[in-house]
Amino acid sequence: MNYKFTHKTMEVLVKHGWSPRRAISIQDIISAWRNEGYDIFQEALDFIKTLDGITFKHPSKSGESEDESCFDSILATKGFDRLLAIEAYEPLIGKKLLPIGQGYSRHLTYLMSNDGAVYGGYDDFFCEIGSDICKAMENIICNKEFITINS
């Protein structure tokens, strides 16, 4: 997948192991998603092949300290209640979701929708992080505001 990251975003990702030609084995991730009953879609497969396993530091939401985002789809899947996606988040946006990572002290689960947008969920808090992976990574790394979605 040829992502067009901003210079700053690319700098952070490269520093933490990403490269434009990165391609990891994704069978274990697919199995984890299938075992939990998720519908799997191409946008998420493209994402995990190139970006799963990347962890990086970024400013906390308050901007006063440092936080971390971990794009580990298996860990995110194990730590996320699928019913929350099905009953609360998916109806709000009319899209299917897959867990792709965690951030902000691992409280926020990163979720990718079947159109490639990235969302974040924690209990009754749900937000759009970016309309695509490039915008989402930039918004996380540059501590930009996420769009809160209310029920």
pLDDT tens digits, 6-55? 999 999 999 999 998 999 999 999 999 999 999 999 999 999 999 999 99
Q: Pick the closest to residue 36 from 92, 80, 96, 93 (CA basis).
A: 80
Pairing status of strand 125-130 against strand 108-113: unpaired
**7 domain residue, yes or no:** no
**10 domain residue, yes or no:** no
Please state, in angstroms and rounded to a whole number, the distance separating the CA atoms of residues 58 and 120: 16
**22 domain residue, yes or no:** no
Q: How far from chain centre, in Å, is Cα 35? A: 19
**62 domain residue, yes or no:** yes
**46 domain residue, yes or no:** yes
**120 domain residue, yes or no:** yes
**51 domain residue, yes or no:** yes
Please state, in angstroms and rounded to a whole number, the distance separating the CA atoms of residues 3 and 47: 10
pLDDT over threshold 90, residue 146: yes
Rounded average pLDDT over 98-120? 96
pLDDT over threshold 70, residue 151: no
Q: What string of DSSP letters covers 7-73?
A: HHHHHHHHHTT--TT-----HHHHHHHHHTT----HHHHHHHHHHTTEEEEEE-TTSSSEEEEEE-H
In the chain, the number of structural domains is 1
pLDDT band at residue 1 under the 50/70/90 scheme: low
Supply the pLDDT for residue 59. Answer: 87
Domain limits at 57?
A: 39-148
Tokens representing 105 are: 């002290």
**13 domain residue, yes or no:** no
- The fraction of the chain above a pLDDT of 70, given in percent, is 99
For helices 7-15 and 133-141, what crossing angle results, to 10°? Answer: 80
